[in-house]
Amino acid sequence: MHRHTRALEHASPPVFPSHRPPYPSRCLTPCGILKTISMNTSDFSTISPSSEVEEAAFDQALTLSKGLFAHQVEGIAFLLARRRAILADDMGLGKTRQSILALRHAEPTGPYLVLCPASVKWNWVREIRNVDPKAECAVLSGSKDGGTADGFTGWVILNYDILGKRFKELELMEWKGVVFDEAHLLKNHESQRSKLGRRLVLEIAPEAAVHALTGTPLTNRPRDLFPLLQFIHHPLGRSFLSFAKRYCAAEKNDYGWVTDGASNLEELTLQLHGSMLRRRKEDVLDLPPKTRTWVDVEIAPETAAAEIREVFATLVASKADDRPQASRSRLLAKIIKAREKIARAKIQSTQDLAESIVAQGEKVIVFSCFDAPIAALTRHFGEAAVTLTGSTPTDKRQALVDRFQQDSTVRIFLANLIAGGVGLNLTQARHVVFNDLDWVPTNHWQAEDRAYRIGQQASVTVHYLTARGSIDEFVRNVLQVKTALIEAVVDGGALSPLATRDVLMELESLVARISPRLAEAEVPLTPEEWAEAVLEDVRRDEATATADTSGERRLSTHVTRDTLLALARVLARPKSRRFRIESSSGRGKHYELTYEESDVTCSCPGFEYRGACRHATNLKRALRAGSTPIGFEEVFG
């Protein structure tokens, strides 16, 4: 049977809760083949019940917007305007933070469920605790170990791959909020993960707030959007066959329905207004030119642990070493071996991240200090990537750069950090990914600027992958501190000698600093305990640094009063408007329509089945244009 099965013809539409009207919404922008519509904060005022916003709501808006960019405040207003929505911003605009803040405001007490790719599970934990340091987070794995206790009200995070294995546990929870991260991975509405996702939000938790987050809600075909519409209770998600006939140019052949086309896209854009919000980086005016993000990834326990234990054992005993230079040489050899093992363990996470970037239509540079990750990624991406290492002949390198810059089919530039980190102009990339962390910070800064240089017209996002529970955590802390020291020069400060030390020097300094305290322990510490003590010290320093800079982050953002008013109007929950229109099939028969924050529902039979009708379309088009809808009578009271 053709992959677009004939069973679609007879598929029953999903059952939506009948006791709750469609949720209020505000703004949409589908991406891909649909026209992009920028967010306009004036949309919030179209149905405001009065010209004044309650003072309490404005105070709430002020509190909620602290530390955010203006586009993030607008995104939170959009998510709070309806219980279920699709946020389809470009990668790097902060969808995760917007979702967390909106969920916590909509439902102050959990539990909340986050479904996401395995590679970003711990990044969600990091972001949640940046918002609420005391938040309880349970990260589930494929085994039955772990889980949550009765009465758990925190965040549960698991990857799509194990959704089926842990689903029975999820059924027992009374979810207050559900997030589908990288929701385009659920585009096949017949896949098990998509079916289980629908069951979660349509049957098990029909009242939960739901956010579908993705940078690629439409890849090539409108049909890929359909599962997301089901997750958010959109009327168009009631019948795939009706949706496909209207918007996918569906045709029936000897094998069944073929639904990979596109039709009536202007109407689809109108229908989705208020359900989907998409901002491109070039449309967001408040972004800094370069943004660094640290992505926590999980690797197998004990990866490189033996080598790191040896490093700490050598450092602790270094005072008794009569040959300090020889001791340092041994340290470097052990560290390189440990770094290479960690780099190999992060290959899959880097691959997933690069695929997500490419899927949203961007180009990306991926750096590694080692050959194995570059070779593995080269095999995986094939002709979509070009590769530059130390063994690449000098006279061949510019041709690789030109292919990446000029060939639209080449999406990824894979490079050794030393060989490709200097002298190249790769401004077609808006993302830079570091698979592993070099212990010489300046190597990273030089490599970042392959994309962030003269000729780059867009904001660049730099992604550093950090392996949890490994020496990566220490390296991350060192890089962050040294970056701040370097940037202080730009602000008129002096470059401290501390900024030029490598990571090994910092590690030696840290061990020396905490040695007196740990030496007082009644029982001598093992190398494992030394390692954990160092990491704990790093985490404490990082938390302090985050708290110290939070005020500066607030000062660096530019949230206008209009943006705050838009959020306040949503928090004040404006009223809906009701209309009625006479049926063309019989005099005296009327249909009722409700317009609530850009969503329109109609009581006619066509809308009940398809989730769309000409009455709803005409009313929505007229109200969006600010005109009086002809033939409609507004109902008051």
Judge contact between 345 and 316, C-beta under 8 A: no
With vertex at residue 424, the alpha carbon angle to CA 421 and CA 429, rounded to the nearest 5 degrees, is 90
Residue bearing the bigger pLDDT, 22 or 234: 234
Q: Which CATH architecture has domain 290-556?
A: 3-Layer(aba) Sandwich (3.40)
Indicate if the pLDDT at residue 66 is higher than 90: no
Whether 28-42+55-286 and 290-556 share one fold: the answer is: yes
Q: Residue 46: its pLDDT value, please? A: 36
Query: How long is the chain?
Result: 637
Which amino acid does the sequence have at 177?
Answer: G
Cα–Cα distance for residue pair 485/499, rounded to 1 Å: 6
Nearest Cα to 253, choosing from 4, 491, 84, 18? 4
- Distance of alpha carbon 549 from its chain centroid, rounded? 23
Q: How confident is the model at residue 65 (pLDDT cuts 50, 70, 90)?
A: confident
pLDDT digits (tens, 9 = 90+) for 419-453: 898 878 888 998 999 999 887 777 888 888 888 76
Domain edges within the chain: 28-42+55-286, 290-556, 577-635
Per DSSP, the three-state class of 350 is helix
Report helix angle 614-625 to 265-272, nearest 10. 70
Q: Residue 600: its pLDDT value, please? A: 83
The correct CATH number of 28-42+55-286 out of 3.40.50.10810, 3.10.580.10, 3.40.50.2300, 3.90.79.10 is 3.40.50.10810
pLDDT digits (tens, 9 = 90+) for 367-376: 999 999 999 9
Q: Residue 375: its pLDDT value, please? A: 96
pLDDT digits (tens, 9 = 90+) for 74-128: 899 899 888 899 998 888 788 999 999 999 999 999 899 999 988 888 889 989 9
List, in order, residues 6 or more apart from 50 with CB less than 8 Å away.
none
List, in order, residues 6 or more apart from 49 with CB less than 8 Å away.
574, 575
Indicate if the pLDDT at residue 285 is higher than 60: yes
The Cα-based distances of 224 to 38, 118, 247, 279, 611 in angstroms read 22, 22, 11, 19, 17
Q: Is the peptide bond before 111 cis (omega within 30 degrees of 0)?
A: yes
Where is average pLDDT lowest: 191-195, 325-329, 541-545, 580-584? 541-545
Per DSSP, the three-state class of 468 is coil
Q: Residue 485: its pLDDT value, please? A: 59
Identity of the highest mean pLDDT range in 250-264, 380-394, 535-549: 380-394
Cα–Cα distance for residue pair 364/128, rounded to 1 Å: 27
Residue bearing the bigger pLDDT, 475 or 462: 462
294: tokens are 């640290």
Percent of the chain exceeding pLDDT 90 equals: 25
Q: Residue 15: its pLDDT value, please? A: 37
Mean pLDDT of 2-23: 35
Cα–Cα distance for residue pair 287/549, rounded to 1 Å: 18
